[in-house]
Structure 1
Amino acid sequence: MSIEVENISKVYGEQKALDDISFTVSKGEIVGFLGPNGAGKSTLMKILTTYINATEGQVKVNNFDVLENKQNVQNSVGYLPEHNPLYLEMYVKEYLTFNANVYKVSKARINDVIDLTGLTPEAHKKIGQLSKGYRQRVGLANALLHEPNVLILDEPTTGLDPNQLIDIRHLIKTVGKDKTVFLSTHIMQEVEAICDRVIIINKGQIVADKKLKDLRDDQEQTVIVEFDYRVEDAFLLKLPHAKSVTNTHDFIYEVTFSTTEDMRSHVFDFAHDNELKILQLNQKNASLESLFRELTS
């Protein structure tokens, strides 16, 4: 197992931030740790990365106990905290070189992570000159420098614009192909876009732990599509298996289909055949949204 959490509790004064939680994460999984603000997500992240100790229970990362083998845990984990700590006055390559010296890794690895995270066009700049999206890339590059087996990301997309969101999501999925990724967020769309499995926490307790594929509705699906101009609902109802159409905002539509087949390719072909331009096309996991609201309200 890459991560083993057994009966963990964390108490701050009279407040119980984590209340007897247990779960495991297998090698190669991308797991979303989902919950409302203040649910205990960041507290657990800090325990997993040895920044703080649990009040009770046991945690192992890559088979190393986080209390007894802190150095081994730190060497095998890449961590991007919620508030990405960067030296804004340093150049990108200078900052990564500084951390490469700390990790005692090859200087060639610096260029590898710059390429991997798409930082090449900005590598000559000071970090303070970068957009928030590129600063997150610097944080990810730093987390990947020592080639960790486990990547722990705490709210990695908070505050990013839509284009930056897409870039960072793609980057996380790319690096997750050969690593275990444990991703904390309060945004359900992040879990849907990136993860294989979701763990939901509320008020310090785990209230759900499921594979995303098991959460998908057996009878229907909803596709969100944005065109470049308004389309009549009746027009979209001509799509195969279309059950209902809702115009949610401007030129954005939610089309519900009475089938489990992924209908996005059909929507794309429909737009092409009718000379429509698609500005966005996503699948909405209604069951995850419903489950989250039910368990955390």
Structure 2
Amino acid sequence: MPSIQAHMFRFVLEHRHLLRFQHKRRAVFDFNTSIPDFREDCEKGARLFGKLPEGIDVTPVDINGIPAEWIQTSLGKRDKLIVYVHGGGYVSGSCSDHRAIVARIVKSSGVTALLFEYRLAPEHPYPAAIDDAVAVYRWLLGQGFSASDMMVAGESAGGGLALALLLALRDLGIALPAAAVAISPWTDLACTSASYRTKNAVSLAPLNSWTVFSKYYTGDMDPRLPWISPLYGELHDLPPLLINAMNSLTMPSLLRRRRGRPVSMSPCALGSAWCTAIPFCPPSSPKRGRPWTRSPPLFGSILSKEVCLRRRHKDDSRTQEYLS
């Protein structure tokens, strides 16, 4: 059950226009909208929640020209690792505006994280982001990390890029991480799902931003390429996945039919505010010591492969209802 803090946080997000003395609830995006201004707005928003938890150390690192940060507890070891892929519609996002989110994940899980800045569109369209993600993962392997001791995680576009990274690593013959977590992932940059229309009224994203962001990232490429939109990829030979999605999410169905059999990925329905607020409002998620009714701890048991999503070759009416 989402906490009062979680509902308050979502209320602030839904009515953030009032903080700017604007009457319109949501901005409308088009190709004349300033991306630098949008990035600055994201940075300003992050600064509202930018205070790091106590006992967290941040160490910058340069990965062959890719800015990154080690985020860990003061006594943390680097024997296990969360490779975190930030969101931002492929046009925004940085270590500075995601540092506090990742720090809270590290604080609650005790697992060290690496947060990195992949190149952004429209200056750097596809395949810049996926190339950088693969380069970071290769670098970690070269630093002595075992694939079995790493997991990939991300939210929104970062969640989609995390899933695309799994497909790329598999296709390239690179050892896959132990598991992956995608929080509200953007998996369909072709924007074909009916949910782009049916969920539009309650979505937190700026109106029409998905079509603008998609075009900036994909350029002249087919947005259905699996390394762009994991929804269209072959999902075989992947590690265990946990995918969270709030009820109001503009999320295309993950149900696919292959060789006459439906392949479903079943989300944990944790409430409309849970995914939005978990980094900032821990009470919105089950407390430590309290049994989880739908899933095990999100990051605490991350590398033990105790995740609630498994690929299944059977029909799941609950999943269809949830994603409709």
TM-score, normalised with respect to structure 2 = 0.27
More strand by share: 1
